[in-house]
Amino acid sequence: HDAATRFIERHPESQRLHKLSLDSLPGGNTRTLLHTAPFPVFIRKGEGSELWDEDGNKYYDLVGELSAGLYGHSHPTLQKVLTETIQNVGLSLGATNIYEQRYASLLCERFGLERVRFTNSGTEANIHCLAAARKFTGRRKIIVFRGAYHGSVLSFGNGIPENNIDQTDWVLLQYNDSEAVREAFMQNDDIAAVILEGIQGAGGFISASLEFLRTIREEGEKAGALMILDEVMTSRPDLITLGKYLGGGLPFGAFGGRGDIMDVFNPLAPGALAHSGTFQNNTLMLHSGYAGLSEVYTAEVVHSLNAQGDDLRLRLQRVFAGSKLCVTGQGSLMCVHATNVGLRAEQITCRDDVAGVEDTDLKQLFWLELVNAGFWVQSRGTITLNIAMSAAALDEFVEAVEEFCRRYRSLIVV
Ligand code: PLP
């Protein structure tokens, strides 16, 4: 109660703007994920790794737009290339352009793809990828995992999504359950593909075991079903989908992989699948994405960002030892979980491990107090680092988490 009162006192302008937004947006919201209680904080601007809200409060940005903000806000290289593109190239050209080829060939090289296509979002990339798998195999069913988030209409946190027009063709299994995968292939001879995240993101940054990935690969190969990895990790998928930071801060999605499968979109072939979209070859994204990946997110930067994330997770694990809190994840992606039974990170292998035992009040309190202390984290516990974040800012963050744990000691002991 006390934390919520301080939150309300610190954000009068956000509260006013939320009321205003209720008139034109359902619940004052256009991205369900961003709705928070008692009301959302309205952020006015970002610079580097920092954010300012409409009440003038400053935050370190630990959300990083869930990796789409990996470059930090207004990275100078991206600012320059975007300005030059507006001045010298123009925006959408309504025509094939050389920038498509340039960025496509960089993505193919970087992610080991034979062919790639652009979309406007990760959601779209997954939808088209699933269409390609169905066309290529001539089958309908798709294996997917509970807790998976493959985009707005492909969200499997609570079963088959109601907003998906395709209600019947899903085979929903437990993540990291190899036996369930084997059984599903025995019971269904019409599986077109298995789609999964190498690390379930929205599900709470839970990693797939190597054995699970191998089972999907082997069982799929035996059955003639494709493996689709939503955002590249390890393993050897037939198709992958890409998104977020690869747009260099702009709306982006892409999917690709084996040339023979991607050929279902070849407009020269009879009966090819159509895949169109006004903005999918827009010049701003093609320039910003290309510059980000070739000039900013170099191999050394990838390595140091992930090392920084691994180090932060270790430090948080030490602070959380023996409490109801723990942190899962890999590299720069992580999620703080609060469970009544004090689950440790290694005990969390799927969303359902957490679902029934989550301490939602503690999670909300953690979010309120960190926002009150000037750290922009997500209400569901997600933390995504960006490359502009300084070591000193992360030290301050760990201190704030320590302070939270000291202050609410009686609430966090198991
Ligand atoms: N797939 C995964 C694993 C995601 O995390 C997301 C976004 O959060 C998506 C797909 C959807 O991408 P977009 O929001 O660009 O549609």
User: pLDDT tens digits for 312-351?
Assistant: 999 999 999 999 999 999 999 999 999 999 999 999 999 9
In 3D, which of 168, 373, 28 has the Cα closest to residue 160? 168
The number of folded domains in the chain is 2
CA distance 223 to 194: 11
The string of pLDDT tens digits covering residues 73-92 is 999 999 999 999 999 999 98
159 and 258 inside one domain: yes
Catalytic residues, by residue number, are 149, 230, 244
- pLDDT band with cut points at 50, 70 and 90 for residue 411: very high
Best residue for ligand 1 mutational test, from 244, 246, 332 (most atoms within 8 Å of Cβ) = 244
274 and 355 inside one domain: no
- pLDDT of residue 233 exceeding 70, the answer is no
Residue 343: helix, strand or coil by DSSP? coil
Supply the residue whose CA is at minimum distance from atom 9 of ligand 1.
151
206 and 132 inside one domain: yes
Distance 161 CA to ligand 1 centre (A): 15
CATH classification of the domain holding 203: 3.40.640.10
Using the atom order of ligand 1, give the atom closest to the CA of residue 120: 15
Supply the residue whose CA is at minimum distance from atom 12 of ligand 1.
122
Residue ranges lining ligand 1, Cβ < 6 Å: 66, 121-123, 126, 149-152, 197, 201-202, 230-231, 243, 253
Tokens coding 101? 């080829």
278 and 134 inside one domain: yes
The string of pLDDT tens digits covering residues 161-205 is 988 888 789 999 999 999 999 999 999 999 999 999 999 999 999
162: which residues sit within 8 A by CB, 6+ positions away?
none
**What mean pLDDT do residues 239-245 have?**
96
Supply the residue whose CA is at minimum distance from atom 8 of ligand 1.
151
Using the atom order of ligand 1, give the atom closest to the CA of residue 201: 5
- pLDDT of residue 234 exceeding 70, the answer is no
CA distance 361 to 358: 9
Best residue for ligand 1 mutational test, from 119, 145, 230, 285 (most atoms within 8 Å of Cβ) = 230
Q: Which domain holds residue 392?
A: 2-70+298-412
Best residue for ligand 1 mutational test, from 123, 144, 245 (most atoms within 8 Å of Cβ) = 123
Using the atom order of ligand 1, give the atom closest to the CA of residue 243: 15
CA distance 244 to 26: 25
Distance 169 CA to ligand 1 centre (A): 21
Instruction: Tell which of 242, 270, 296 closes a domain.
Output: 296
Instruction: Tell which of 278, 296, 314 closes a domain.
Output: 296
A 10 A CB-CB count for 270 gives 5
∠ Cα 156 166 176 (to 5°) = 30
Q: Residue 232's pLDDT is what?
A: 52
28: which residues sit within 8 A by CB, 6+ positions away?
18, 19, 21, 22, 35, 39, 40
Distance 149 CA to ligand 1 centre (A): 7
The string of pLDDT tens digits covering residues 197-231 is 999 999 999 999 999 999 999 999 999 999 999 97
The string of pLDDT tens digits covering residues 109-149 is 999 999 999 999 999 999 999 999 999 999 999 999 999 99
Distance 414 CA to ligand 1 centre (A): 34
CA distances from 93 to 99, 266, 278, 282 (A): 11, 21, 10, 7
CA distance 55 to 44: 9
31 and 19 inside one domain: yes
243 and 350 inside one domain: no
- pLDDT of residue 267 exceeding 60, the answer is yes
Model ipTM value: 0.99
Q: Residue 165's pLDDT is what?
A: 80
Distance 151 CA to ligand 1 centre (A): 5
Supply the residue whose CA is at minimum distance from atom 5 of ligand 1.
201
**Residue with the two structure tokens 């966090």:** 412
CA distance 46 to 213: 38
Using the atom order of ligand 1, give the atom closest to the CA of residue 151: 11
Q: Indicate the average pLDDT of the chain.
A: 95
Using the atom order of ligand 1, give the atom closest to the CA of residue 197: 3
Best residue for ligand 1 mutational test, from 149, 233, 384 (most atoms within 8 Å of Cβ) = 149
Using the atom order of ligand 1, give the atom closest to the CA of residue 253: 15
29 and 18 inside one domain: yes
∠ Cα 310 316 319 (to 5°) = 150
CA distances from 364 to 283, 285, 291, 398, 399 (A): 41, 36, 38, 18, 19
171 and 239 inside one domain: yes
286 and 307 inside one domain: no
Distance 142 CA to ligand 1 centre (A): 18
49 and 144 inside one domain: no
Distance 195 CA to ligand 1 centre (A): 13
184 and 289 inside one domain: yes
A 10 A CB-CB count for 4 gives 14
Q: Residue 168's pLDDT is what?
A: 81
Supply the residue whose CA is at minimum distance from atom 7 of ligand 1.
151
Using the atom order of ligand 1, give the atom closest to the CA of residue 66: 8
Distance 181 CA to ligand 1 centre (A): 24
175 and 199 inside one domain: yes
CATH classification of the domain holding 13: 3.90.1150.10
Share of the chain above pLDDT 70, in %: 99
Instruction: Tell which of 296, 311, 338 closes a domain.
Output: 296
